[in-house]
Amino acid sequence: MNTKVFSLTALILASLLSSGCSSMQEKETPEPLVKINDYPTRDRVEFVFNCIAKHGGKNDYVSQYACGCKIDKIAEKLSFAEYEAATTFSMLRSTPGENGAAFRDPKHAKILRKRLKEADAYAENMCFVN
């Protein structure tokens, strides 16, 4: 009789624990404290190399750190899709004639170029010592 009570108690306890765990999993998970960054590593590395070249080409720790910081600060302001579109619009807007109009004239292209310029200025100010 004692083993029946023990088995029944164990079964009830296991049932309560498993239902408690499953109800805990159904709750929404809180948002992460840090915004997930969607910039691919290849694009980050390319940005850092171009940034180092733009700032004198001195491949030392200070330049690497500042340029790495700069892409992180830009990533705080723009998603990768926005960054990619903005850099494309910026690079190709000087294309002459009708072909360049597709990159130069649309309102969203102007907005993205402006946001990129603002993000770049913010990042430059935050990461480089004047």
Per the structure, how many domains does the chain have?
1
Residue 81 lies in a domain: yes
> Which structural domain, as residue segments, surrounds residue 109?
41-127
Mean pLDDT value of segment 39-53: 94
3-state SS assignment for residue 33: coil
- Which residue type is seen at 57? G
Q: Report helix, strand and coil shares of the chain as percent, to nearest 5.
A: 75, 0, 25
Residue 48 lies in a domain: yes
**pLDDT tens, position by position, 15-30:** 544 555 444 455 565 5
Average pLDDT across the chain, whole number:
80
In-domain check, residue 103: yes
Q: Residue 86's pLDDT is what? A: 94
Residue 35 vs residue 98, higher pLDDT: 98
Asked if residue 61 belongs to a domain, the reply is: yes
Q: Is residue 78 part of a domain?
A: yes
User: Is residue 63 in a domain?
Assistant: yes
pTM for this prediction: 0.68
For residue 8, being part of any structural domain is answered with: no
- Three-point CA angle 60, 48, 96, nearest 5°: 135
